[in-house]
């Protein structure tokens, strides 16, 4: 039986998947820095902006979660599922996530962040002179 209300569950899940997304972005930065790319800076700049935006959102979520006494704790991971403990208002709720579904959620957040970054930047007009 779920003990977290919809808002608490949504908030804790978003925090969890944002955290995972940040880890993926940090790994990608290391891969690009050490990879055979000829021109690395544009990719690194995009990923750094995405990390900044994700960390900003996660920081705000953490503040709200702290105020509402909500926490997420990793329990275990196997080949198929990852299990987390969600804590809120003195209640505990275990949630198991199918690993391919976790990957898809992280991918969706990556797409959101990339879209937000690429559409919010004012781009100079191309110089064809």
- The pTM assigned to this predicted structure is 0.89
Mean pLDDT value of segment 12-27: 98
Percent of the chain exceeding pLDDT 90 equals: 86
Is residue 15 classed exposed, middle or buried when 0-12, 13-18 and 19+ CB atoms within 10 A define those classes?
Answer: buried
In the predicted model, what is the mean pLDDT of the chain? 93
Biggest CA–CA distance in the chain, Å, is 66
Express each pLDDT in 60-106 by its tens digit.
999 999 999 999 999 999 999 999 999 998 999 999 999 999 999 99
């Amino acid at each position: 039986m779920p003990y977290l209300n919809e808002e608490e569950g949504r908030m804790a899940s978003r925090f969890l998947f944002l955290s995972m997304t940040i880890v993926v972005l940090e790994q990608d930065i290391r891969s690009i820095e050490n990879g055979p790319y000829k021109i690395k800076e544009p990719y690194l700049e995009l990923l750094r902006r995405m990390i900044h935006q994700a960390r900003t959102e996660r920081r705000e979520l953490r503040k709200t979660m702290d105020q509402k006494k909500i926490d997420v704790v990793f329990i275990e991971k196997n080949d198929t599922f990852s299990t987390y403990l969600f804590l809120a208002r003195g209640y505990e709720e275990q949630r198991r996530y199918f690993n391919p579904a976790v990957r898809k959620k992280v991918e969706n957040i990556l797409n959101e962040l990339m879209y937000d970054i690429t559409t919010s930047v004012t781009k100079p007009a191309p110089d064809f002179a």
